Structure 1
């Protein structure tokens, strides 16, 4: 997914809408597509701003979120445990089957390193 358009452009667009231009007219003035103008104008009317929404899935709602404490406890017991051992322990204790890279992603977000 590409990066959202700059906030400066969005604020200029919002000012044009607040001055009374339609979304299409404001978009054409700023050299945006009419579809983007309609979308942003709707957002300005409903939310009061044209800021971009957060991209990606919400944080902390992944498959492994409920098992975070379990994984941290295993690491506290054995700091040299491997990802494959963590994966197998999770499958055995909780019945959850995940790829070892998913565990690595969770652990890196929690501040653990493999060095």
Structure 2
């Protein structure tokens, strides 16, 4: 889905509607489609503004939301536990089957990080 049109454009559209122009006429002035003008005009009439609706799924209501404490506890008990082990423990304890990357996303939102080994540049005297 593309990004919504700017709020400044929507505010100018709302001003035109409040001046008495139709949605189609305001859309023509701002060089947006007539369908967009009709939709925004309806939104201005019903809601009083033409702000974009939030996009995407609502945050915080995934499969793992109810199991955050359980996963935190497992990581606290064994900091070296792998994502696959977390996935299997969750499936065994609660019967919830998820992809390991979903667990990684949740842990990263909770502030857990994975520290990789330190990289050092090759030495000037070491053979290549």
Instruction: Answer with 1 or 2: which has the greater Rg.
Output: 2
Cα drift, residue 69 of structure 1 = 1.0
Question: Which residue pairs with 1:3 in the alignment?
Answer: 3
What is the TM-score normalised by the length of structure 2? Answer: 0.86
Listed one character per residue, the Cα deviations across residues 25-83 of structure 1 (whole Å, up to 9, x for unaligned) are 11111000011111111111111111111111000111111111111111111111111
Which blocks of at least 5 consecutive residues in structure 2 are unaligned? 116-128
Residue pairs, 1:1-115, within 5 angstroms = 1-115=1-115
Give distance in 2, aligned partners of 1:71 and 1:91.
12
Q: How does the TM-score come out when normalised to structure 1?
A: 0.95
Q: CA deviation at 1:95?
A: 0.4
Distance 1:13 1:64 in 2: 42
**Within 2, Cα distance between the matches of 1:113 and 1:27?**
48
Alignment size in residue pairs: 115
